Structure formats: structure tokens, C-alpha cells
Amino acid sequence: MLYPTTPEVLRRRRLILVGVAIPLLLIAFLTYAVLAHRSASTTPPPSDDVAGAAAPNSGPGEEPARLDPLKRTSDPETFARQVVQGVFAWDATSMVSRADHVEQLLALADPTGESTAALLGDLDSYLPTADAWTQLAQYDTKQWLTIISVTTPSLWSEAESQAGPTGLLPGTTAFTVEGMRHRSGVWEGEPVSSSHDVAFTLFMVCGPSYPRCHLLRLSMLDKPLD
């Protein structure tokens, strides 16, 4: 049997595939939107800086080095680029632990706290586990990301429509990031390195709901919203 392949049918099939890939994420967004509306008006404005965590190469009696503070910003794309570097740039040999990176990123989470637990689960899938972090340190492993593009997903407007006029907080948006993830280290005394393409989507809320942007969720790695 031949199935119709009109543009409308193809568009519907594409939406179905996207719905299969990220249904829980969109459901979480709708749940977040309802709860956030209830508590956003009572949330105090955030401070401008996110404190860094203790960082590498601090000697006895020295001030501990720190992660670069993540500056709070009201510009969505600037915020997205900062978050990306916060997630992907790490050095397993430093005195900064995996937990320090997580703490710094959670400081950017939504002020209501409604999506924080889910965001923590997202970060767990992006960062090495604590055991893996220890093993990577033995090989002097470092990671960073070269951003290639930051774009609004073409299906985001449809997601907003499905949420309805009162579904998402004003200023809720998404960016799909494409980049090159790099790792370097030492294997059997020799320097080694690798690079891989990555793609993912960040979901955030900015003004007018809040004076600064806040991170809500991350898609599964390499499963971005189209």
C-alpha cells in the first residue's frame, strides 16, 4: 500500500518523531510553566554573579583559585553561550570537582526551583560520573567546546503554540547549539586528543519574567529540538 506523502503529511510525521524524542521534556516544561506562574511573583531578584568554585593549582597558604564566575545576563544568546562553556569546559586534573561544576550551573537554575531536580538529571548525563572523573584525572584529561552555531529551533514556535497563551512564562525560549567537543590527555606518556561533533538544545527563561536569564533544562546530548 502506498502512503500519501503530501507536505502536510510529512510535516505531521516529523512532529510525531519529535514528539517521540522529547515528550517528557515538553511535559516537564508545561508542568514547570504552571508552577512557575504561581511562585514567580514572590521570587527575589538574583545577584549579578554566580560564585565560582575552588579551582586548580592552589598551593599551601595561597588563596584558592576559582572557576571563572558565570556572569548573569538578560541577553538569551549570551546566556546560552555562557551555559555551554560552563557545561563543557572542565579539567579533571584540577582541584575543582565535578560537584563544583554542578553547583555553579545549578546557581543559574530557575528561581522557583520547580525544574531544578530535572536539570540536575540533565547535567548528570553531560558530565562524567564521579568515578569517571577520578579515572580521567589519571590521564590528565581536559575538555572544552568550540561553538559552531546557536540558533532558535524551527519547531520552538509550535511548542509555544501547544503550550497555549498562558502556558509558558514570558521570555521562555530555546536555543539549539552545534559545536565541536575537544578532549586532550596523556596515554602511556604520550599526548592524545580527540574531537567530536555535538548538538543539543538549551531551554531558558529571561525577561520580562525575570531581570536575568535562568537555565531550565537541557535536551539529551545529540538529540536537539530541530
pLDDT tens readout for residues 130-167: 999 999 999 999 999 999 999 999 999 888 888 877 78
pLDDT tops 50 at residue 62: no
pLDDT at position 69 is 66
pLDDT tens readout for residues 81-140: 999 999 999 999 998 899 999 999 999 999 999 899 999 999 999 999 999 999 999 999
pLDDT tops 60 at residue 42: no
Q: What is the mean pLDDT of residues 200-217?
A: 96
The domain limits of the chain are 10-40+74-218
Whole-angstrom distance, CA of residue 98 vs CA of residue 92: 8
Q: Are 60 and 20 in contact (CB under 8 A)?
A: no
Q: What is the mean pLDDT of residues 18-46?
A: 46
What is the phi/psi pair of residue 222, to 5°?
Answer: 65, 20
Nearest to 76 by CA among 182, 224, 177: 177
pLDDT at position 164 is 77
Q: What is the pTM of this model?
A: 0.74
Residue range 10-40+74-218 forms a domain whose CATH class is alpha beta
pLDDT at position 189 is 92
pLDDT at position 90 is 96
pLDDT at position 26 is 53
